[in-house]
Structures are given as C-alpha cells and as structure tokens.
Structure 1
Amino acid sequence: MSTFESSVYRAAALHAELLRTLAETDHASPVLEQQSRLIDDLDSHIAVSNQRLKVLEVKREADRKELGKFRNSYVRRFMYRAACQQDKFTHRAEKGEREFFEVTQKAQREHNINTSLREQRLEAERSKEELESMVEQHNEALEMLDKLYQSVFAGRTPQSQEEDEAEQMCDRLKASYQNLRAEWQAESMAVHLLENSHTLMDEALTRIRDALSYSKSDRLGGSVVYDMMEKNRLAQAEQLVAMARLEITRAQKVSPHVKAPAGVSINHGRVLRGLYYDDIFSDSTFRNELRRGVSEMQRCDEQLQCELDAARSRRKQLQAMLDCRAVELKEARLRLQREREKVFETVMRGSPQSEGRLQWSSEDTDKDKQGKTRPPLLRIATSQRNPEVMMKEFEAWRDKERQMKVVFE
C-alpha cells in the first residue's frame, strides 16, 4: 500500500468525525445572525418601554400627590360646602381617583410588558451563547479539516486528477482574492484619509472666511483686537491646510490613483505694520489677498471632493469584484472538499470499482471483509470522539512517517 493510501487510512476516523461535527453545526452561523438581530430589536423595545414606564411612574406619583392634597384639604372641602357645591367636590375627587387608577393600570401593564421583554432578552442571550459556542466549534472543525487536507493531499494526488485540478483552481482563486482584498483595503484606507483631509480643508475654509470677516469689520483701521483675531484665524487655517496636505500624502502612498489637488497659499500680511501702523489702503490690499486665499482653498476643496468621490467609486467596484471572487472561491473550496471526500471513499473501499462501502471500526486492524491484509488503522477509540486528540495523534504519525522517509533516503 502506498504512503498516500496509508495516510488516508490513518485520517479516516478523524475525517468522519470532522464531517459529522460540520454537519451538526452548519446551521449555527445563520441562526446566530438572526438571534443577534432579535436581541437588537428587543433592546430597542426595552428602551422604549423603559421610557414609557418612567413617564407613567412620574405621572402616577404626581396624580397621587394631587389627589391626596385635594381629598385631605379641609379648606377646600369647607369652601365647596359653603358654596353649596359639595357634589362638585365629590365629582372632582372621583375624577381624580379614576385618573389615578387608570394611570396605575397603564403603569402596571407597561411594567408587565417590560418584565416580559427582559425575560425574552435573557432567554435570547442564553440561546446566543449556545449558538456562539456551536459557531466556534464549527470554525475549529473547519480549520482542522483544512489542516488535515493540507497534510494528506499536499502535492500531487495519484488517485485523483480531479482533486489536483480542483486544488490548483482553488489556489489561483485564493491568490486572486487576496490580491483584490489588498487593493480593497488600500482604497478603503485612501477613502478614510481623504475624508479626514476633506474635513480639515472645510474647517480651514471656515477659518479663513472668519479672518476675512474680521478684516471687513476693520475697514476704518485702528482696531488691534480685530487684527489679532484675524491673524489667529489665519494661523489656524494654515495649520489645518498643512494637516490636510499630510492626509493627502498618506492617501497617495496607499493608493497610486490619488492625485494631489492644487496648492493653497495663505498670506499673513505684515504683522507689526498691521498692528501698529494700520491704514485703509493696506487693509484693502490684504483683503484682496484673503479673497485670493479663499478662492484657492475652495478650488482645492472641490478637487479634493472629486478625488474622494473617485476613491469611493473605486472602492465600490473592488467591493463588487471581491464579493464575486469570494463566491467563486467558496464554490471552488466546496468542489475541492467533495473531490477529497471522494478520494477518502475510494481508498476506503479498496478500489474504485467496488460496490458498497466497507464499515471499518478501530477494532478492525488486520483483515478487511474480503480477508485481505491491510495496514492497521490509527488506534482511536470510537467512544472518545475528540477531534483535537485525534488530530494530534495523526500529526504525530505523520511526523514519524517523515522521519522514517528521511532515514531511508
């Protein structure tokens, strides 16, 4: 028997156990998503119920105090009796009692609803924990199955050309998916950086417009306060533009498609002369410089918006391609798994032409049902059924086989 067939025999029990685990836990992932949505919906209902209950409790307490004051007020009772309106006093007291009773009933109903929602929330949380455990078990079994297949089917498979073709196709699609994933991540990072840059540029535009507004408020000159506020806004605008430029540079490094927008030049004017030797002509000239700066910054902001829209469009296209490639990769992996399952079945039957499937257990170690001698299976008790232990034993056997192969070579 070849080394490959021996590996299949050794991995057969673990392979069957992992497939059983995957079949039992395959439903957990979609159910977990539904359970998470259910919990979110219950949380929103509980929040609304808490608000209603709080309002009703406040109203009930206010009605209780008002009713107590009215019924226990001897002055009001005497005034109604003196005005021969005792029936009106009784009617108003009964009305207050009815309103208090209605609010109490509403509060009690809302309290019952709130309690029921909280109980449902607790039950849903317990179910979610169980589903999370099943999903974790499913992922671990899937990871172990991939690891098992890598160990058994590494390289060329002599018994199945279809398995080799499916494996090559899966490897090509995986490499393509990883490349697309890297491009998508780069464009996503570029979008994030450009959004930050656009926000900073908008803030810088607000600051330079504030500076222009302060400059217009000082048309007649002589105001040191306006000049100081103007210089402060210009300094803030320049700092924000520099930060926006830095974000654009980072976006260009992660994505070669990002282009730098037009430059922005901010003129601060002559600080000392503007503070101590202010005049109407210098202010007019400086306001023209500020208008030029606003115009340049607006043009830069518009170009930056175009780059941001282009980056978002590229990210959307890559996302569509990535989703399509993910579906293709999933189908290729399923096909590869089916081919490998066929290889297991073929080897365990003894030949491709054999009908039926041999039911071997860990106790069948020397003879098959036809009486032919075969290598002993891996000693794994069927009652144990622990995939992790089974995987460790199989890996130990594989290491021993490799060592023996090296010694003989």
Structure 2
Amino acid sequence: MTSVCARTRDAAPRNAQLLQTLDETNHAPSALESNQSYVARLRLQIHQKKQELEQASKIVESELADYEQYEHSQIRRLAYKVDQKEQIFDEKTEKEKREWEEALKYHDEIKYNLGKMLDTLDNAVKLNLTFKQEAAANAVAKKDLDELYKSIFSGQTPELPGEDKKEQLVTEAETSFNAVQSRMSTENEALKALKDAERFLALALNNLSSAKHPVVSDFWNYGSFADMSKDSKLGNARRNISEVKNLIAMAQEIQPFIRSIEQLDAPELRFMGELVFSHSENGDALKLLKQATEILEIELDGENSRVKAIEKELSRAKKILQERRKELQDFRQKTFEKFTRVHELG
C-alpha cells in the first residue's frame, strides 16, 4: 500500500496537468474528422469545377472562331452582298457574336466560383492544421494519462473496489461526447455555408437595386460584352447569385433538411446580363431575390435552431464527461489520501 500511496502522491501534479490538456482538446478528434470530410468534399467539387472550366474554355475558343469567320471575313461578306443577302450576313454575324459572348460569360462565372471555392478550401485546410495539432496533443495526453494510471493502479488492487467501473464510465462518456461533437462540427459547416450564401445574396440584391439602367447602357459604356460581363452591376449580381446557389448546394450536402430556393433558378435571374434585360425584368428579378432572401432567412433560422439544440446536447455531454472524470479523479485522490493517512499512522 505504501508503494501505491507514494506513486499517487508523486503523480498528482502531472495528473492535474494532463486532465487540463484533455479538457481543452477533447473537441479536436471529432472536429478533425469532420473537417477532413469537408476538405475532401471541397476538393472533389473543385476538381469537377476545374473540368467544367476546361470545357467552358474550349467552348469559348470554338464560339470565338465561329464569330471571327464572319466578323473578319471580307470575302464572305462580299459573297453575301453579291447575292443581296447582306442583312442575312449581319444577322448571322450577330448570332455568332451573341453565342461567343454567352459562352464567355458562362466561362467567367465558372472561373469566379472556382476562385471562391479555392479560398474556402484554403481556410478549411488552415483549420485542419489547427485541429491536427490539438488532436495530436489530445492523443498524447490520453496516452500519458493511461500510462500514468497504469503505473499507479495496474495489477490486482482489491483494496480499490469500484475503480474499474468508474473508468469504464469515463470511456462511455468520451464516446458520447465525441459523437455529439462530430454532429456539432457538421452542423456548423452547414450554418457557415448558409451565412455565406446570405452575404452573397445581399450583395446580389445591392447590385441589382443599384442597376438603374438597362444593360444596353453598360454595353456602350464598357465598349465590349466581355468588359460588361466582368464589371457591370448586373454581371456582378449574376455571379453573386451563382455563388449563392453553390453555397446552398454545399449546405444541402451536409444537412439534407435545408431546402432549395427555386426562385434562384427563375429565367428572370438566369438571363441577367443579356442586352434585352429591361427595367421591367429588373423589377421582376428584384422581387425574386427578395423572396429568395426570405426563404433563406427561414432556412438560416432552422439551421440555427439545429445548432443550438446540439449545443445544448454537447454541453450536457461535456458536463457528464467532466463529472465522470472528476468522479474517477476524486476516487483516486481519496485513494491517495487514504494511503497517505495509513502511511502516516503506520
């Protein structure tokens, strides 16, 4: 008994240090697992988006080649003129130009969304490094604590009835805590995606609200459709709406209860940036975006409620884990005190 008492007394400071480390890093293993799944999904989506961009680039090249066959072909123009079909030639030229411009606009949207996804991946990877460091510290602390307790309480200890049972309760509490923490991390990812979607939707609303003139005026101001698509308020609105749709899709992959927003697929929004986009259509698009904002707010409220519910569950699980650890620690501390008194009396 004196040997157990001495080992317990000597290990007390180290035991307290390890328990504190565990309390500070218990979230890390499950958070790391969830983050790694998130990063894997992002990388897959980025790979697919890069393939889309590559295909879109080929389409742009093809459409540009078709357009230039008309735009820069004096012989072809002359042939149509001889046949008194110059108007048909101009119509075909304009058609090829529109198809090239639309392909370019689609290409730019994919490129923009890809950039946003790469930024998100960069942030997720940085967070992954933090979780890895914390998870490593957690694993080391657990290992050291196990070895410490093994050095003190290993072997037959009939004088310590109940110690093994309390240790089992700690293990069960850890398992429960990790399961809830994993769900918490997942729901937080969905919530973040919805909050980002809300931010981009607000930007789109602002873009559209401030676009007081039809796109035709932007076209003449910028001098080319490519410039207009990149810089005009309507072009920005369209890109922001596309990002909203991507973020909602990402949130739905994480949490299937999140609904789609059908208004974002309406023709009034898909065709923003066309030369024929009028004041009336601008108003229709604004109305749709406001409806989409209301629906997104409902989905945000729902996800916030889910997160809060899991926060409460996580708080309970953490409290139980802390209580179980304290019970085990108190038991071992009382064992130490008991052996100390025996040693002093002896």
Q: 1:329 aligns with which of 310, 316, 321?
A: 321
> Which of 320, 343, 346 in structure 2 is aligned with 1:358?
343
When Rg is computed on C-alpha atoms for both structures, the one with the higher figure is: 1
Residue pairs, 1:341-380, within 5 angstroms: 341-342=333-334, 357-359=342-344
Structure 2 counterpart of 1:17: 10
From 327, 331, 334, give the equivalent of 1:339: 331
CA–CA distance in structure 2, aligned partners of residues 319 and 303 of structure 1 = 24
The TM-score with structure 2 as length reference comes to 0.51
Partners of 1:330 and 1:151 in 2: CA distance: 23
**Contact 2:204-2:237 within 8 A present in 1 as well:** yes
Letter in 2 for 1:309: D
Can you give the 5+ residue segments of structure 1 that lack an aligned partner in the other structure? 28-139, 275-281, 350-355, 361-368, 370-409
CA separation in 1, counterparts of 2:325 and 2:272?
A: 67
For residues 65-116 of structure 1, the C-alpha deviation after alignment (integer angstroms, 9 at most, x for no partner) is xxxxxxxxxxxxxxxxxxxxxxxxxxxxxxxxxxxxxxxxxxxxxxxxxxxx
Please give the root-mean-square deviation of Cα atoms over the aligned residues, in Å: 4.3
Are the structure 2 counterparts of residues 319 and 151 from structure 1 closer, same or farther at C-alpha, using a change threshold of 3 Å? Answer: farther
**What residue is the counterpart of 1:304 in the other structure?**
296
Q: CA deviation at 1:303?
A: 1.1
Amino acid across the alignment from 1:17: D
Cα offset for 1:16?
1.0
Find the aligned partners of 1:318 and 1:270 in 2 and give their Cα distance: 43
Q: Could you tell me which residue of structure 1 aligns to residue 312 of structure 2?
A: 320
Q: Distance in 1 between matches of 2:189 and 2:246?
A: 14
Q: Residue 12 of structure 1 contacts residue 344 of structure 1 at CA under 8 Å; is this kept in 2?
A: yes
Q: Is the 8 A contact 1:187 1:254 kept in 2?
A: yes
Q: CA deviation at 1:340?
A: 3.3
Q: Which has the higher helix share?
A: 2
After TM superposition, the structure 1 = structure 2 runs for residues 224-303 of structure 1, keeping only pairs within 5 Å, are 224-225=220-221, 232-264=232-264, 265=266, 266-268=269-271, 271=274, 274=275, 286-303=278-295
Give per-residue Cα distances to partners, 1:37-82, cap 9 Å, x unaligned: xxxxxxxxxxxxxxxxxxxxxxxxxxxxxxxxxxxxxxxxxxxxxx
Distance 1:255 1:155 in 2: 48
Structure 2: 5+ residue stretches without partners: 21-139
Taking the TM superposition and a 5 Å limit, the aligned residue runs for 1:31-180 are 144-149=144-149, 160-180=160-180
Per-residue CA deviations over 1:156-180 (Å, capped at 9, x if unaligned) read 9755452232222222221111111
CA distance in 1, matches of 2:273, 2:245: 25
Post-superposition shift, 1:337?
Answer: 1.8
State the partner residue of 2:200. 200
Matched residue SS, 2:343: coil
d(CA) in 1 for partners of 2:311, 2:237: 36
Contact in 2 for aligned 1:18/1:141 (Cα 8 Å): no
- Determine the structure 1 residue equivalent to 2:181: 181
TM-score of the aligned structures, taking structure 1 as reference length: 0.44
- Could you say what secondary structure the match of 1:298 adopts? helix
Could you tell me how far apart the structure 1 residues matched to 2:12 and 2:182 are? 32
**Contact 1:190 1:254 (C-alpha < 8 Å) held by counterparts:** yes
Render the CA deviation track for 1:282-320: whole Å, top value 9, x for unaligned.
Answer: 67xx33333222222221121111111222222222222
Q: How far, CA to CA, are the matches of 2:279 and 2:185 in structure 1?
A: 44
Structural mapping, 1:377-388, within 5 Å: none
Q: Distance in 1 between matches of 2:156 and 2:253?
A: 41
**Structure 2 residue identity aligned to 1:330:** Q
1:155/1:324 Cα in 2 relative to 1: closer, same or farther (>3 Å)?
farther
Counterpart residue number, 2:213? 214
For residues 197 and 270 of structure 1, the distance between their equivalents in structure 2, rounded to whole angstroms, comes to 21
Counterpart residue type for residue 340 of structure 1: R
Alignment partners' CA distance in 1, 2:236 and 2:343: 80
In structure 2, the CA distance between the partners of 1:161 and 1:292, relative to structure 1 (3 Å rule), is farther
Tell me the matched-pair count.
220
1:234-259 CA distance string (max 9 Å, x none): 22212111112222222223334333
Q: Aligned-pair distance for 1:203?
A: 0.6
- Shift in CA distance, 154/26, structure 1 to aligned 2, threshold 3 Å: closer
Kindly, what percent of the aligned residue pairs are identical?
Answer: 22
Question: Are the counterparts in 2 of residues 267 and 289 from structure 1 also a CA contact under 8 Å?
Answer: no
